Amino acid sequence: MHSHAYNTLDPVVEARVAELLGRMTLDEKIGQLNQVSPMMYVPPAPGADREAPPTFAPVPGVEEQVAAGAIGSIFNVADAAVVNRFQRAAVTGARLGIPLIVGGDVIHGFRTTFPIPLALSCSWNAELVAQTARVAAEEASAVGIDWIFAPMIDIARDPRWGRIAEGAGEDVCLGSVMAAAQVRGFQAADLGTGRRVAACPKHFVAYGAAEAGRDYSAADISEVTLREIYLPPFKAAFDAGAGSTMSAFNDIGGVPASGNRLTLTQVLREEWGWPGLVVSDYESVRELIPHGVAEDLKDAARQGLTTGVDMDMVSRAYSTHLRALVEEGRVAPAAVDEAVRRVLRLKFALGLFENPYVDEDRQAAFQLTETSLALALQAARESMVLLKNDGGLLPLTPGAQRLVVIGALAESRLDALGCWAFFGRAEDAVTITEGLRAHLDGAGPSFVPGYALPGSTTIDLDAAVAAASVADVVVLVVGETQDLSGEAHSRAFLGLPGRQQELVDAVAATGKPLIVVVMTGRPLVIPRLEQQATALLVAWHSGLRAGQAVADLLFGVASPVGRLTASWPRAEGQIPVYYAHKSTGRPAGGDGTTQFVEHFRSTYLDLPNTPLFPFGYGLTYTAFDYTDLKIAAEVVGPDGAVSVSVRVTNTGARAGLEVVQLYVRDLVGSLTRPVRELKAFARVELAAGETRVVSFAVPVSDLAFVGVDQKWRVEPGAFRLWVGPDAAHGLEAGFVVRS
């Protein structure tokens, strides 16, 4: 997939930027740094249909401000005619006719809603992820959106944080691969609309390290952790061509991310030499005041601009105070010019000066095509993760067993869409019951809600038990509604919300085989449910074709291929629980240190350290065997590569896809190292009985880590290597890196 790159300097564009910048007044420059939303969300009336599309009303005065050159960008407008009206005000009304750049929160699809990003990452299929981003860009660009506020590439190791739903989970390697893939898709060069789109990787930076999993909370991490864990996915996104990023809400070691010179200036500009545009998150410049580092909005404007935030989203700090700050000598005119230069650079690169308007007649042509819906189905199938299948209960044979479906989520269209589905429509979604009926010629299975949504305490155990008692197999659909994850939706307790576990207990007591389908935006804490389920499928919030994908997997039309990208805890008390943890001086798996006759280790008294389900885990409808792990050379030089091969055999009776994962541990370093780190993976399809040799070549440079001087280095010495199906298992070997 060929994509545009907005992270390099084009001499032609630079000359055009310089010429235009030279003709601009200070007020016109400040206008380019001001982003507003021209539409205001109207909350639904009490008792309104929760699946009805959201309602928005225009904000008075915005069009006039655009015509006056006081606004450089608008966002979250999803109608071509409205976009053109504002664009016309900018191009024909303002003195210099500089077009607007139109942003949008297109997080996991536009009209075609795909699985939430956390689910998509469980496909481990970068090309598929890129294709979903491309479709999203095509549909968004058809209404005039040319700047997508995605991908969200924050590493997240705390499932209490609601925004874990928006990213690729806990791992740096996989997160970087997915970040680059989404950028390539969003910035695809062959969009049918003939327009260009720019990605905006977010949130820069360490937002996923929010303390206690509370959204917007502080990230009290070391600079080594910042550079080693949270920055690499952004570097991968920029290397893929992203020309913008969004500064985060959180502080990092006491310095808010939207006023942080280390990250916004030293890392981005001086170390990486990145020339792109930084836009603040929603009012994050103003929020320097409640953070406690700015006295007032004027001080916040000064700090935001001088530390590296080019465009102010919504808070109007720049539009209100930058002129005075420049006149007082507190902000250098050159700093304003540099910020404006980055805005203009992106607008020129997007072709907005040549093609500011969108073709209103073509808007409908890029909505819900057969191709996009087929991709939505593929994405949903590949994202779902089978966690348990006792006795080979799955796949089912259509018509061979009497099924009953219990759980209100099985009939919910809105909850299939998930969080951040602004532009999707619940009416387009396929429910789980609809998907199952399609496999049964429209007859059955019977459906019993069991409980009401959302957040209701109403429960009908008698009806659920009665239905289960006459069934051969129960399909129980439980989990989260879509409004329990996403921004500002952190949860302290991660069990099944409401009285759902009570429903599970009652149905499980019937003794009938129980297929549990979990719809969720995050890893949940479900040890009791895991024990009660005969088969357990994590369906996430998987978009428009979620119900069809669930049915296809349960009946074996498709085989499960998803693998977890975030560990599932046994209890909230384990959090954060992730595979790439440090050993400690008294590791859980070692003998520990003997004190007073006992072994003292880094363990819990009442729970294992291990997660309920580890990173990389997922079952299929077959089985795979790993043998004959080989390392081509047990000693490699600093400029070489670790060449590894392993034989993988499908030992089952069905074809299947295995995600072969390679992990490494640096045994002795100048700083402590994680017990394992993912360095490579491969998706391998094997027919029943087939064996294939899977090979990897891991560059020694990929074994580098950040030292005490904040520089990346590879240290010579001994390493361990594992190749296997997940982060907790695999064949093991060793090698040495020489100096």
177: left (phi > 0), else alpha (psi -120 to 50), else beta?
Answer: alpha
Name which of 132, 169, 14 is nearest 578 in CA terms.
169
Which tokens sit at 95? 């003195």
Bridge partners (DSSP) listed for residue 475? 405, 515
The backbone torsions φ and ψ at residue 139, rounded to the nearest 5 degrees and listed phi first, read -65, -40
d(CA 541, CA 118) in angstroms, rounded, equals: 9
Bridge partners (DSSP) listed for residue 473? 403
Q: Return the exposure string of 667-694: e unless at least 16 CB atoms fall within 10 Å of the residue's CB, then b.
A: eeeeeebbbbbbbbbbbbebeeeeebeb
Name which of 194, 180, 179 is nearest 146 in CA terms.
194
Separation of CA 241 from chain center: 18
Contact 485, 165 (CB under 8 A): yes
Name which of 460, 458, 452, 464 is nearest 408 in CA terms.
452
Q: Which amino acid is at 336?
A: V
d(CA 504, CA 657) in angstroms, rounded, equals: 31
Half-sphere exposure of residue 137, counting CA atoms within 13 Å on the CB side?
32
Separation of CA 551 from chain center: 25
Kindly calculate the radius of gyration of the chain based on its CA atoms and give it in whole angstroms: 26
Separation of CA 83 from chain center: 27
Q: Where are the beta strands (DSSP E) in 401-512?
A: 403-406, 446-448, 473-479
Sign of CA dihedral 587, 593, 599, 604: negative
Q: Return the exposure string of 289-316: e unless at least 16 CB atoms fall within 10 Å of the residue's CB, then b.
A: bebebbeebbbbbbbbbbbbbbbbbbbb
Burial class (CB in 10 A: 0-12, 13-18, 19+), 40: exposed
Tokens 């363990």 belong to: 603
- Residue 591 is a catalytic residue: no
Other Cβ atoms closer than 10 A to 377: 20
- Choosing from 281, 299, 310, 666, the catalytic residue is 281
Contact 424, 111 (CB under 8 A): yes
Max alpha carbon distance in the chain (Å)? Answer: 83
**Helix 461-469 to helix 500-508 angle, to the nearest 10 degrees?**
30
> What is the DSSP track for 666-734?
ESS-SS--BS-EEEEEEEEEE-TT-EEEEEEEEEGGGG-EE-TTS-EE---EEEEEEEEEETTEEEEEE
Separation of CA 642 from chain center: 30
Sign of CA dihedral 221, 226, 229, 231: positive
Other Cβ atoms closer than 10 A to 106: 27
d(CA 659, CA 684) in angstroms, rounded, equals: 6
Is it true that the peptide bond before 395 is cis, omega within 30 degrees of 0?
Answer: yes
Contact 533, 594 (CB under 8 A): no
Other Cβ atoms closer than 10 A to 93: 15
Name which of 583, 541, 609 is nearest 676 in CA terms.
583
Q: Would you name the residues annotated as active-site residues?
A: 281
